[in-house]
Amino acid sequence: DTGVSQDPRHKITKRGQNVTFRCDPISEHNRLYWYRQTLGQGPEFLTYFQNEAQLEKSRLLSDRFSAERPKGSFSTLEIQRTEQGDSAMYLCASSLSTGWEGYTFGSGTRLTVV
Amino acid sequence: DAKTTQPNSMESNEEEPVHLPCNHSTISGTDYIHWYRQLPSQGPEYVIHGLTSNVNNRMASLAIAEDRKSSTLILHRATLRDAAVYYCILRDGGANSKLTFGKGITLSVRP
């Protein structure tokens, strides 16, 4: 296992278009998290899954954002009708559900909305 | 989530020890102290965590004050590859807790 993989690494899209990002977690990890990071800030929590169940969503996750994790393996994050304010690095992380386990992060997908 | 306070930035010299402070005066008894670091153009990376006792691993040491209201991440010999943003995070020991990041401290290492 080579860690958490995210695809694509970079995405440039026009305002109003839909985009979808994919995250492949470490195979034995049952938890998967999405974060968003803008320049100069720490990552902000968006949502997380335990297996296929989405257990928590941040208020940051507007109606234009949707995340899925079918079959409890990979996950997708879709942004509909993108806005310039959506430009950010989108980070995925995975972990085991035992309380103190550290997260393993991917390298992120950098989204630029023009 | 309980909050942490870190300086914005710190500079160090290569091959010298680095002490990165973190204040968490409102820590609760079930909060673990976690440290992550983020190298340029990468996702955050787990460094170390502890509850009450000092902890050592291959990357760093974590010194926790007796009253747990502050902690210090210690890099024993800084290298250029240690230049990164270091985040001090409190995480409740409950099974459903998540990591909440602040702005972190930017460490620069001079050759």
**What is the tens place of the pLDDT at every residue in A16-41?**
999 999 999 999 899 999 999 999 99
Distance CA A18, CA A40 (A): 26
Q: Which of B22, B34, B99 should we substitute to test contact with A (largest number of A Cβ atoms within 10 Å)?
A: B99
- Token code pair at residue B59: 């990357």
Q: Under an 8 A CB cutoff, do A104 and B41 touch?
A: no
User: What is the model's pLDDT at position A60?
Assistant: 81
**What is the tens place of the pLDDT at every residue in A76-96?**
999 999 999 999 999 999 998
* pLDDT over 90 at B92, yes or no: no
Distance CA B73, CA A86 (A): 34
- Collect all residues of chain B within an 8 Å Cβ-Cβ radius of residue A4: 43
**What is the tens place of the pLDDT at every residue in B24-36?**
999 999 899 999 9
- Collect all residues of chain B within an 8 Å Cβ-Cβ radius of residue A48: 98
**What is the tens place of the pLDDT at every residue in B19-78?**
999 999 999 998 999 999 999 989 999 999 999 999 999 999 999 999 999 999 999 999
- Collect all residues of chain A within an 8 Å Cβ-Cβ radius of residue B42: 105, 107-108
Query: Do residues A87 and A113 touch, judged by C-beta distance below 8 A?
Result: yes
Distance CA B70, CA B51 (A): 12
* pLDDT over 70 at A1, yes or no: no
Q: Under an 8 A CB cutoff, do B43 and A4 touch?
A: yes
Q: Which of A36, A100, A104, A107 should we substitute to test contact with B (largest number of B Cβ atoms within 10 Å)?
A: A100
Say if strands A5-7 and A53-57 run parallel, antiparallel, or are unpaired: unpaired
User: What is the model's pLDDT at position B111?
Assistant: 94
